[in-house]
A and B are shown apart, each in its own frame.
Chain A
Amino acid sequence: MLPYPILAGFLTLMWMLLTSFTLGNLILGALVAVFASWAMASLRPDKPKLKKWYLLPKLFFIVLYDVALSNIAVAWLILRGRKKGRRAGFLTIPLEIKDRTALTLLAIILTSTPGSVWLEYDSYDGSILMHVLDLDEEEQWIATIKNRYEKLLMEIFA
């Protein structure tokens, strides 16, 4: 009856957040969630294989911290102009993750981080093309993505 229990749970929660936390809205929200997850099932998406889901909050806080830092860096760069010799540029990074959900999450992380934009993913050799605002830290960008995000994502979606 419930093909996607987590999705249905979150839909019910969302329904109650938008209306109010009462028994009536719980029942109504649950009904909507069940029908919505049937609709989702008929689309036949890939089922993500969550292995170590308890690492998700860790990833969330790491990203929140990194995004805050790069917000400051990019805001500074826009207001004060670029330091001499610094330039923006393209960056190709080979990735090991193949899982679609993990790739989606990585794309969201990189796009939300100011200073890095995900341009395209090449499924032929599993590499991404990015554009970074400060290419001087090229090694640092690669190290951050490979060690900080990709390792954690590979642990979560094994």
Chain B
Amino acid sequence: MIYPAADLSLPIALAVAFFLLVGAALALIGAIGFLRLPTFYERLHAPALGTSWGIGGIMLASMIYFSVASSRLVIHEVLIGIFVTVTTPVTFMLLARAALHRDRTARSHGVPRKYPIGPEERPREDDEPQA
């Protein structure tokens, strides 16, 4: 049985509101940054706000609220946090490496290139140095 939100005690309500607002604010700032930052690589940083403490804050608020309101420990939100944290690097790296590949192929300035050729054709240690 879940009690209505109005019956929560003040400290609990304040804690829930605090974490919820922190999480929502970080997600909003991340979205603003996504719009405002000038280059692709800089824009990659903005959603990290939402996927780190953005989701963390909302998760904590949900855990506190439902644990108190249903008077039992509700912590399965942790799973959402874990799965988001573990899977975001996959997306980020996929996007980042696609951008790197595109920029290197286009010989854009400012993108670091270690070798003038692709990774498959790099010189090996045991090869003769090329003249």
Q: Is the CB of A117 within 8 A of B44?
A: yes
In the complex, chain A residues whose CB is within 8 Å of the CB of B42: 88, 131, 133
A112 at the interface (CB under 8 A from B): yes
Interface string of A105-120 (1 = CB under 8 A from B): 0011001111111111
User: B100 contacts the other chain (Cβ, under 8 Å)?
Assistant: yes
Which single member of A75, A78, A112 contacts B37 (CB below 8 Å)?
A78
Closest to A127 in B: B114
Contact (Cβ within 8 A) B48 A112: yes
Interface digits, A10-23 against B, CB 8 Å rule (1 contact, 0 not)? 00001001100000
The residue in chain A whose Cβ has the minimal distance to the Cβ of B101 is A120
- Contact B52–A71 (Cβ < 8 Å): yes
Contact of B52 among A90, A114, A117, A120 (CB under 8 A): A114
A119 to chain B: which residues have CB within 8 Å?
41, 93, 96-97, 100
Tell me the number of A-to-B contacts counted with CB atoms below 8 Å: 100
A74 to B53, CA, bound (A): 12
Give the interface centre of A67, A78, A79, A122 by most chain B CB atoms within 10 Å. A78
Are A78 and B36 also in contact (CB < 8 A) when A90-B111, A112-B88, A114-B45 are?
yes
Question: Do most interface residues of chain B lie in helix, strand or loop, or is the interface mixed?
Answer: helix
Q: How far is the CB of B19 from chain A (nearest CB, A)?
A: 13
Let me know if A17 and B76 touch, CB within 8 A.
yes
Known A92-B112, A108-B86: A117·B29 in contact at CB below 8 Å: no
**Apart from A17-B75, A71-B49, A88-B39, what are 11 other A-B pairs with CB-CB below 8 Å?**
A17-B78, A67-B53, A75-B29, A78-B33, A78-B46, A92-B112, A111-B93, A112-B48, A117-B44, A117-B48, A118-B96
A residues near B (Cβ < 8 Å) are 14, 17-18, 67-68, 71, 74-75, 78-79, 88, 90, 92, 107-108, 111-120, 122, 124, 129, 131, 133
